[in-house]
Structure 1
Amino acid sequence: MENIKNESSRKSTGAIPVWRRYPLTIVEAAGYYHIGENKLRTLIDEHPNDDFCVMNGNRALIKREKFEGYLDQATAL
């Protein structure tokens, strides 16, 4: 029953669950991947040519699926 309430409230507010979003903010990605915000910012700075990040003004957004591909290939962070 609670699941139905959560789903209906999500639809009414227009909120998209994190696992369905295309871009994630640094804060959302840190919570979703259990990686610290500073580490994510460092990864973005160290890999400027990789395709898992897009800049929206001065805000860095992480492309969820491409970042998951990067994490699959990475041996260490």
Structure 2
Amino acid sequence: MEKDLTVPLWEKYLLTIEEAAVYFGIGENRLRELAALDMKREFTIDNGNRTLIKRKKFEGWLDEKKKISL
């Protein structure tokens, strides 16, 4: 019998752009733009050609914002 290894989004450390869009309610294009501007890599990490969002770090970053603008 196979184990279900699915991890809920709210328990994942890293989220794909697609997962982060669903979790945070922010569009994928906006998340890609924000990730591209994250030069210090505070809330993103690159895994090959894929950008991942550090869920808790991004939550903290969002908590400090009053507006999501570029």
Q: TM-score, normalised by structure 2?
A: 0.89
1:51 pairs with 2:12: no
Q: Structure 1 residue runs of 4+, over 2 Å off?
A: none
**Structure index of larger Rg:** 1
Considering only aligned residues, what root-mean-square deviation do their CA atoms show, in Å? 1.4
Which residue pairs with 1:35 in the alignment? Answer: 26
**Alignment length (residue pairs):** 67
Shift of 1:44: 0.8
Counterpart Cα distance in 2 of 1:63 and 1:73? 16
SS at match of 1:40: helix
Q: What code does the residue aligned with 1:52 have?
A: F
Unaligned runs of 5+ in 1: 1-10
Counterpart Cα distance in 1 of 2:43 and 2:33? 13
